Amino acid sequence: MIMKNRMVHILMPSQEKAAETKKELAGLDAEASVIIHDRDTFKISGVSYEAVILEYETGSTLWLEALARTLTSAPRTRVVLLAPDLAAGRRDARISVYANLFLAADLKQAAELALRQEELDQQDRKTILIVDDDNQILKSFSRLLRHSPWNVYAVSHGERAMNLLNVEKVDLVVTDIKMPGIHGLELISRIRKNHKELPIVVCSGYPGMKDDMELKFYNIAGFIEKPVNPEEFEKQIAAALGE
């Protein structure tokens, strides 16, 4: 499965306007949480959102505070500002410092822009395939990379990994070695037949595997030892992707 969150966070000055926006998003097959502008209740942390929709209000600063707090606590989150006047060309110097901001003329455009931008971002991201027979480890890795700049597929069987590689563009494979069914070394061998340049990182609880001659033969891009150090895990992945 691809770890892709389609949640959109709505912050509106009225329940009625928030409900209208949520309806527009529902028509585009997205979930939406609704929060009314309020200094005491506003928060963005704790949930991963692909986009936040705010309504621009000329006579209020609450939307501006929400904008600043959103991009401070979750800088990768895209913000769509529902602002007909600004979308039509009117200027507001207060928003000029925010690069990750998109202007919408109406509710429908705001909903479409939030989701369309998500799709564009998903296409631009590199994709990682993680293979491990332990579902708890897969969940742990998926949580660890939830806020990363990469798309993540997580599968528990080598056969599923091969099937996915046949239909999806993958930029990096991270695989365990000791697995039932297709052993990790066999999986690597199969991958190399059709994907000779695809970077592969081995993640194993057996440190001795790092110096295994067979792994060296397959030109492994990296080795991550279990239990995994989160910082080292992301560092190895970034290095294997050339980032």
Q: Chunked in runs of 10, what are the mean pLDDT values of the chain (243 residues)?
A: 52 78 75 57 55 80 78 72 82 70 84 67 76 90 77 88 89 94 92 93 81 75 90 91 86
Put simply, whether the predicted model's pTM sits higher than 0.85 gets the answer: no
Q: How far is CA 192 from CA 111, 215, 224, in A?
A: 43, 12, 20
Phi/psi for 133 (5° steps) reads -80, -10
Q: How far is CA 7 from CA 47, 115, 141, 178, 186, in A?
A: 9, 9, 20, 36, 38
H or E element that contains 117: helix 107-124
Domains along the sequence of the chain with CATH: 8-123 (3.40.50.2300), 126-240 (3.40.50.2300)
Sheet with 172-175, edge to edge strand ranges: 151-155, 127-131, 172-175, 200-204, 222-225
Q: What is the per-residue pLDDT for 195?
A: 92
pLDDT in tens, 69-126: 777 766 667 788 888 888 777 777 777 666 567 888 888 888 888 776 555 555 567 8
Whether residue 227 has a cis bond before it, omega within 30° of 0:
yes
- Is the distance from CB of 201 to CB of 173 less than 8 angstroms? yes
Number of CB atoms found within 10 A of residue 110's CB: 27
In order, the DSSP letters of 143-167 are HHTTTSSSEEEEESSHHHHHHHHHH
Amino acid making up residue 163: N
Q: How far is the C-alpha of 156 from the C-alpha of 174, rounded, in Å?
A: 12
- In degrees, rounded to 5, the angle at the alpha carbon of residue 237 between the alpha carbons of residues 235 and 243 is 80
CA nearest to 58, candidates 112, 95, 10, 102: 95
